[in-house]
Structure 1
Amino acid sequence: MNISEVKDLMNQFNGSTLREFSWKNADGELSFSKNEGQALVGAQSTAPTAPAFTAQQATTVAESTEAPVASEAAVEAEGEAVTSPLVGVAYLKPSPDKAEFAKVGDSVKKGQTLLIIEAMKVMNEIPAPKDGVITEIMVSGEDIVEFGQDLMRIK
């Protein structure tokens, strides 16, 4: 595993709701943890591997590899959050060749489909809880979403 693959894994881990992640193969072992105060286990073999990181170091390295977006992060979007009613895969389009159900700035009506969450091969439409304007979309197409995770904001 090269450093770019490790950085990619760190970025994905940092953006997920997972608290711990371990990966092992014949060359070594890699572990990440967001649990405070715990050091992570490094490689157990003689092959050269990535160093162990604490959760704080992993977050710092992951943040340093991304472009700064301080102005967007500092400004909290307005509106009521639409949360996921189930665990599954989020789809922002009805099919790959069609337009998105809703984009930031679009006006939506109560009951209008905002996105689809696939769970156990069933496509579940997520409706708008009220009339309003989409102020933020917090998931991307084909993201795995958790129960209660914020999906969009409607103002």
Structure 2
Amino acid sequence: MTNEEIFALMARFEQSTCATFKLTMKDFSLELGKAAASAPNPAPVAVPVAAAAPAPEKPEGLFVTAPLVGTYYASAAPDQPPFVKAGDKVKKGQTVCLMEAMKMMSEVPAPCDLVVEELLRSDGELVAFGDAILRYRAV
């Protein structure tokens, strides 16, 4: 595991609601934990409505999501074309991307006949379980 991958895992963990995380590989082990708050929860503070930031809009549509935590790959090899591009028509079961976890590659199939509307991840990006990979429209 590279330092870049470790730092990416640490950043994801810090942003998550998990209290602990442990990863054990052949000759490598990583354990992360967050300190529990020692003071009781502070009382809620009233925030003026004008100061509240608007919630980010969640894109509408259907999504293919990551079936595991790993690295997203748009193609089978760096010199190969991507499995799908925006606007492509895809048949149910056709591979839309690869996910790598612990040196194991897993194909991610299309859940139905669809048209790819938007790719939401960059090649080589670390994704968590359930993260949206691409947005599609069922046909």
Q: One fold, TM greater than 0.5?
A: yes
SS at match of 2:99: strand
Unaligned runs of 5+ in 1: 1-12, 21-72
Counterpart AA for 1:91: Y
1:92 aligns with 2:58: no
Partners in 2 of 1:79 and 1:109 — Cα distance?
18
Normalized against structure 2, the TM-score is what?
Answer: 0.57
Task: State how 1:1-155 maps to structure 2 within 5 Å.
Answer: 17-19=12-14, 76=59, 78-155=60-137
Deviation, 1:81, is 0.7
Partners in 1 of 2:88 and 2:12 — Cα distance?
28
Write out per-residue CA displacement over residues 10-64 of structure 1, whole angstroms, 9 at most, x where no aligned residue.
xxx9xx74546xxxxxxxxxxxxxxxxxxxxxxxxxxxxxxxxxxxxxxxxxxxx
Instruction: Give the aligned CA root-mean-square deviation in angstroms.
Output: 2.3
* Larger strand share, 1 or 2: 2
Q: Contact 1:79–1:135 at 8 Å: present in 2 too?
A: no
Percent identity reads 43
Q: Contact 1:118–1:124 at 8 Å: present in 2 too?
A: yes
Moved over 2 A (4+): 16-20, 73-76
SS at match of 2:85: coil
How many residue pairs align between the two structures? 89
* Larger helix share, 1 or 2: 1
Return the structure number with greater relative CO, CA threshold 8 A, min gap 6.
2
Deviation, 1:74, is 7.0
